[in-house]
A and B are shown apart, each in its own frame.
Chain A
Amino acid sequence: MSALTDDTLPMTPRAMRDEMIVFALMAALLAVVPFTGIYPFFVMQALCFALLACAFNLLIGYGGLLSFGHAMFLGTAGYVSAHALKVWGLPPELGIVVGTAAAALLGLATGYISIKRQGIYFSMITLALSQLLYFLYLQAPFTHGEDGIQGIPQGHLFGIFDLSKPLVLYYVVLVGFLAGFLLIYRAINSPFGEVLKSIRENEPRAISLGYKTDQYKLLAFILSGTLAGFAGSLKVFVAQNASLTDVHWSMSGEIVLMTLVGGLGTIFGPVVGAFVIIAMQQYLAGFGQWVTVIQGVIFVSCVLLFRRGLVGELAHLLRRSL
């Protein structure tokens, strides 16, 4: 099994400094977006997907676990949050908590099942589980089947911030994204993250060193699922609907594609990948099914020509860790 990424070395102070500079740059750039005339809805959507891709990358890039069912967390948290906001009338902060908690529980259950097998089987199991949930949501009354949950009230966050104002919503989503990003960054560079990387590199050796790798994998899976769910709950406020598209296997594929384009196992790659793919969908919306074909071509060319992804190639050129 060959390594997925170049980064097997421990964190150096220089790398840490580089990454913090890039993070500050990214945060500053995103903070000025509303004053540039860029369509904020597009950026908000991209931020939700960026967080989702980062959560997915935690599993694949650092744990070597390819989940082909991450849409189930996006969809589940979205449905639960939407239901809580619209039917139960919960305030936004509780709606987000409930949705994220649902994703965490789902992560516990599906993680426990899927880590029973390794490698390629793990991917097939996660895909099958998300398809199982897709059919459950298709039939469950509270999701309203093909119509989805629509017209979700945005409300006031903590009773103060009016989320129906695009500018307020933008900064709330941005803060949510940055918080999630930093949490993932912290996890990757913690002792927990180091064990995770050792599992990716050589699981039998990690076991022989006394690590209970199944517990680490399960924890990573739950963490990833919870953050993906958090992204799904945020997305409810942006899109104001929750529908079956978010649970479909093609969505899981898009999450994989974003991370692959940006760079598996890079810190900023999933963010770049998410913006690239969402922008592509935006600009090519008029081409109908050709978008799927183009996505397929990107998949194929990424795997065959630049497996490191955009950020991974850049980091390799600059010999920095990004």
Chain B
Amino acid sequence: MQALYAQLLVGLINGSFYALLSLGLAVIFGMLNIINFAHGALYMMGAFVAYFLLNLGGINYWWALIIAPVVVGIFGMILERTMLQWLAGLDHLYGLLLTFGIALIVQGVFQNYFGSSGLPYSIPDQLKGGVNLGFMFLPIYRGWVVVFSLVVCLATWFLIEKTQLGAYLRAATENPTLVRAFGINVPRMITLTYGLGVGLAALAGVLSAPINQVRPLMGADLIIVVFAVVVIGGMGSIMGSIITGFALGVIEGLTKYFYPEASNTVVFVLMVVVLLVKPTGLTGRAA
């Protein structure tokens, strides 16, 4: 049973990353009509920024949790201003191709300097060790990742669904021209939205650094799984992305325990099943 709980926890952690990443993809898609293929590369950049901060500047994990998303978010906003914004009005697929190219560039540059092996990033002192819950041993850092990701996801949901800014954002997703007519600077909102989505990816990268090591290709395979998550959950609802992300992580964890051979493929197989049974995805809204 110990092993089952341990795999469930791993599943919840992967689910946190799926949720944070698919949330960002959904927010970006809503505003920019672009599927951000560079999301995995930017997640990786988040982890690398944390690594640089610690090893070059001696700046600890807690600061990295704030600084890395801001740095990567600014990088993302520069990308949006210099490249992505020129794609407005073109076919969706150009956004996919452009961001795929950006992902190749970013990952290639990092691979050149850091190879393909992982760099260690140690768990911060405050979160070292674990607690015995009676039925299982819980490493504190892993518990922290799950709780913190959940809080960030819910905060993002609150920001978009319940605040004035979020209302502008949702309105601009529906009809940007009309929102502009009300005197709201929609292009700036689009840039900030991209920054926000990318920042969430970078945050996931920092969280994963002590668990998965810092590797140039750490986001390359992950982003494909996240795409499957997005296909399953649909990008129409924020809460839908969060729930689907965590749920699929847990299912993956259970698969690792009961049938480890299929743990790599279970999310893709589920995607196929969902497409056959309910082609519009779980949270409705056909695309």
Interface residues of A (CB under 8 A from B): 1-2, 4, 60, 64, 66, 68, 113-114, 116-121, 123-125, 127-129, 131-132, 135-136, 138-139, 249, 253, 256, 260, 288-293, 295-300, 302-304, 307
Contact = CB atoms under 8 A, between A and B. Distances in A.
A298 B287 CA distance: 30
25 contacts: A2-B90, A2-B91, A64-B91, A66-B97, A113-B276, A116-B276, A118-B287, A119-B93, A119-B287, A120-B35, A121-B231, A124-B35, A135-B264, A139-B261, A249-B220, A291-B108, A292-B108, A296-B101, A296-B104, A296-B105, A299-B98, A299-B101, A300-B98, A303-B94, A304-B86
A127 B227 contact: yes
Nearest to B94: A303
B112 A120 contact: no
A289 B216 CA distance: 12
B243 interface: no
A271 to B, nearest CB: 20
Most buried by B among A2, A138, A260, A293: A293
Interface stretch (B4-12, B184-192, B266-274): B266-274
B228 A117 contact: no
B275 to A, nearest CB: 5
B109 A293 contact: yes
Contacts of A114: 275
Contacts of A132: 265, 268-269, 272
A120 B93 contact: yes
SS class, residues of chain A in contact with chain B: helix
Nearest to B272: A113
Contact of B279 (A60, A117, A289, A292): A117
Contacts of B98: 299-300, 303-304
Interface string B77-112: 000000100110111111011101111111111011
A1 B109 CA distance: 34
Contacts of A135: 264-265, 268
Contacts of B90: 2, 307
A256 B97 contact: yes
Contacts of A302: 97, 101
Contacts of A288: 112
A121 B271 CA distance: 12
B230 interface: yes
A1 B94 CA distance: 11
B122 to A, nearest CB: 27
Contacts of A68: 96
Given A132-B268, A303-B97, A304-B98, A296 B103 contact: yes
B178 interface: no
Contacts of B265: 132, 135-136
Contacts of A113: 272, 275-276
A253 B38 CA distance: 13
A129 B268 contact: yes
B224 interface: yes
Contact of B104 (A60, A138, A293): A293
Nearest to B234: A121
Given A129-B268, A132-B269, A299-B100, A124 B228 contact: yes
Contacts of A139: 261, 264
Contacts of B100: 253, 256, 299
Contacts of A1: 91-92
Contact of A260 (B92, B97, B112, B279): B97
Contacts of A117: 231, 275, 279, 281, 286-287
A120 B287 contact: yes
Contacts of A293: 104-105, 108-109, 112
B15 to A, nearest CB: 17
Given A66-B96, A124-B228, A289 B101 contact: no
A141 to B, nearest CB: 12
A222 to B, nearest CB: 17
A123 B268 CA distance: 14
Contacts of A138: 264
Contacts of A289: 108, 111-112
Given A289-B108, A296-B108, A298-B101, A127 B224 contact: yes
Nearest to B112: A289
B83 A300 contact: yes
Interface in B22-65: 29, 35
A2 B227 CA distance: 24
A120 B227 CA distance: 10
Contacts of B92: 1, 119-120
A64 to B, nearest CB: 8
Contacts of A131: 221, 224-225, 228, 268
A249 B275 contact: no
Most buried by B among A249, A290, A298, A299: A299
A123 B112 contact: no
Contacts of A299: 97-98, 100-101, 104
B105 A128 contact: no
Contact of B105 (A120, A136, A300, A307): A300
A18 to B, nearest CB: 27
Contacts of A64: 91
Contacts of A298: 101
Contacts of B93: 60, 66, 119-120, 123
A295 B104 contact: yes
